[in-house]
């Protein structure tokens, strides 16, 4: 098997090493030759690598049907590389985009390249630099022929799913793979924000030390239903010391960046008409964190603490936090799968949601024990299996749900911003509420704009002349 790789940044370099370890003859090209030289000097003995000084050298050096993986910044750079490649390729060659491209760009590129008899595959890849090297979760979409050509190598490169399978599977045509990866990243935003909010409450209200916080998250990882990669690394973060021996976490600025996939998830949800409030609020939280100057200025405002919200003992607060996090975690994944389901129908992708849950159980950033619930939930055409339904009901009812509400009340009463936690429970409450107040909104819209409304138990649209009733 041979594979061309264009772009030797951290992800591209580690995928090249992964492919070589799994028997591929890897042809390398980077726009700056120094990067290629550095790679060969450090990793050249890891496998069969062929450094190339130009795209023409890379293409001409490969025999038979070529498969070329592009690992450059999403957007115009991908189009530029494709435009340079196409004149050099032959019919039935394969171009693969392994970056975080917007799925609509992947839809367009597959169509354009198909017109040139070239196969195009949009490859969602999750796992960070470690996953790229040792086994990522891979989400392919686009040309099925291109996937079939690469399947043996991708199977070898991908992470194990914990069930004797590999975390790679063809998902659908066009931008299906990149859409699934985008939603993965949206869920990632949500889960990271939930953990950050729990941390904020335990640290600022419960007065837990960093050492105690590390123990909390380590212990949660031991829970069969809660273990996850993000909890594991969070526990590690609280133990990391700076060079002077102090806790590194306390020296990091509270300003979080983003590269766009969270924003795209929010925009896509709006376009498809799917409510994902936990993910949306997590994107907003990162934006708000950038308002550093305003936050410092506004911190002078007095906080009014509600006396009725008594603070429980530390161990009880940790128990409340655990339930609040777990239930909010379930709503976050649920929102992501709702978006996948709606997009699949609109785009005619026929996504296998159970298979996606399986792909996310290894290698990727959002790998978590809770994914087993969703893997079972979507295993058949039935809405939900009985055992899974009972499991979710048992999680949500009685004490866990009371703890969820109590923890959120404590946070709000103490002035701790918790947009993701509060959005999660609001989403849950909206879905379990038989009658929402949107009847009033319908009346308001009809009042000022004659937009009409529906009546209970009657067919058709109705309009009322409201103005003559105003006094």
Q: Rounded CA gap, 24 and 1, in Å?
A: 5
Burial 148-187 (b: 16+ CB within 10 A, else e): ebbeebbebbbbebeeebbbbbbbbbbbbbbbbbbbbbbb
Q: Where are the beta strands (DSSP E) in 337-470?
A: none
* Residue 99, phi then psi, degrees to nearest 5: -90, 180
Q: Can 181 be counted among the known catalytic residues?
A: yes
- State the Cα–Cα distance between residues 183 and 339, nearest whole angstrom: 8
Whole-angstrom distance, CA of residue 220 vs CA of residue 204 = 20
H or E element that contains 122: strand 119-126
Asked if 323 and 201 count as a contact pair (C-beta separation under 8 A), the reply is: no
Strand partners, 4: 27, 68
C-alpha dist (Å) from residue 59 to 4, 14, 64, 85, 123: 8, 21, 10, 8, 20
Other beta carbons less than 10 A from residue 311's beta carbon: 14
Q: Which of 188, 197, 203, 322 is catalytic?
A: 188
Q: What is the DSSP string of 328-367?
A: HHHHHHHHHHHHHHHHHHHHT----HHHHHHHTTSSSTT-
- Cβ neighbourhood burial of 29 (10 Å; 0-12, 13-18, 19+): buried
From 181, 203, 326, 377, active-site residue: 181
Q: How many CA atoms lie within 13 A of 241 on its CB side?
A: 5
Q: How far apart are CA 83 and CA 77, in angstroms?
A: 10
Largest alpha-carbon pair distance within the chain?
Answer: 86
- Specify whether 342 is catalytic: no
Helices 210-222 and 314-347 meet at what angle, rounded to 10? Answer: 60
Helix and strand totals (H; E) in the chain: 20, 7
Query: From CA 280, how far away is CA 343, in angstroms rounded?
Result: 17
State the Cα–Cα distance between residues 165 and 358, nearest whole angstrom.
Answer: 9
Catalytic center residues: 181, 188
């Amino acid at each position: 098997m041979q594979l061309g790789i264009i772009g030797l940044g951290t992800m591209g370099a580690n995928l090249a090493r992964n492919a070589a370890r799994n028997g591929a003859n890897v042809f390398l090209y980077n726009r700056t030759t120094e990067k290629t030289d550095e790679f060969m000097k450090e990793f050249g003995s890891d496998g069969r690598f062929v450094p190339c000084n130009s795209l023409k050298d890379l293409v001409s050096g490969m025999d038979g049907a070529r498969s070329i993986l592009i690992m450059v910044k999403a957007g115009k750079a991908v189009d530029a590389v494709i435009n340079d490649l196409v004149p050099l390729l032959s019919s039935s060659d394969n171009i693969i985009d392994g970056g975080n491209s917007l799925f609509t760009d992947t839809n367009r590129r597959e169509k354009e390249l198909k017109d040139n008899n070239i196969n195009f595959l949009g490859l969602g890849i999750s796992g960070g630099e470690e996953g790229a090297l040792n086994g990522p979760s891979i989400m392919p979409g686009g040309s099925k022929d291109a996937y079939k050509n690469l399947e043996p190598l991708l199977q070898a490169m991908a992470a194990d799913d914990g069930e004797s399978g590999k975390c790679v599977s063809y998902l659908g045509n066009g931008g299906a793979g990149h859409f699934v990866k985008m939603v993965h990243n949206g869920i990632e935003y949500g889960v990271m924000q939930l953990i950050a909010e729990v941390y904020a409450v335990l640290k600022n209200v419960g007065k837990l030390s960093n050492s105690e916080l590390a123990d909390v998250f380590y212990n949660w990882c031991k829970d069969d239903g809660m273990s996850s990669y993000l909890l594991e690394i969070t526990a590690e973060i609280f133990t990391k010391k700076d060079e002077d021996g102090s806790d590194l976490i306390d020296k990091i600025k509270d300003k979080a960046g983003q590269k766009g996939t969270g924003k795209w998830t929010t925009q896509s949800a709006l376009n498809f008409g799917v409510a994902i409030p936990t993910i949306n609020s997590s994107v907003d939280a990162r934006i708000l964190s950038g308002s550093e100057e305003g936050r410092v200025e506004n911190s002078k405002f007095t906080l009014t603490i509600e006396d009725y919200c008594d603070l429980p003992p530390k161990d009880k607060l940790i128990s409340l936090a655990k339930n609040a996090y777990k239930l909010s975690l379930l709503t976050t994944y649920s929102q992501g799968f709702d978006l996948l389901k709606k997009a699949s129908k609109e785009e005619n992708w026929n996504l296998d949601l159970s298979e996606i849950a399986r792909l996310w159980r290894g290698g990727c950033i959002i790998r978590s024990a809770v994914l087993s619930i969703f893997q079972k939930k979507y295993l058949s055409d039935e809405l939900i299996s009985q055992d899974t339904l009972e499991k979710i009901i048992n999680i949500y009812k009685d004490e866990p749900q009371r703890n969820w509400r109590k923890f959120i009340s404590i946070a709000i009463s103490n002035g701790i911003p918790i947009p993701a936690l509060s959005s999660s429970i609001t989403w849950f409450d909206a879905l379990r509420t038989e009658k929402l107040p949107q009847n009033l909104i319908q009346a308001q819209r009809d009042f000022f704009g004659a937009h009409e409304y529906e009546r209970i138990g009657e067919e058709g649209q109705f309009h009322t002349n409201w103005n003559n009733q105003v006094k």
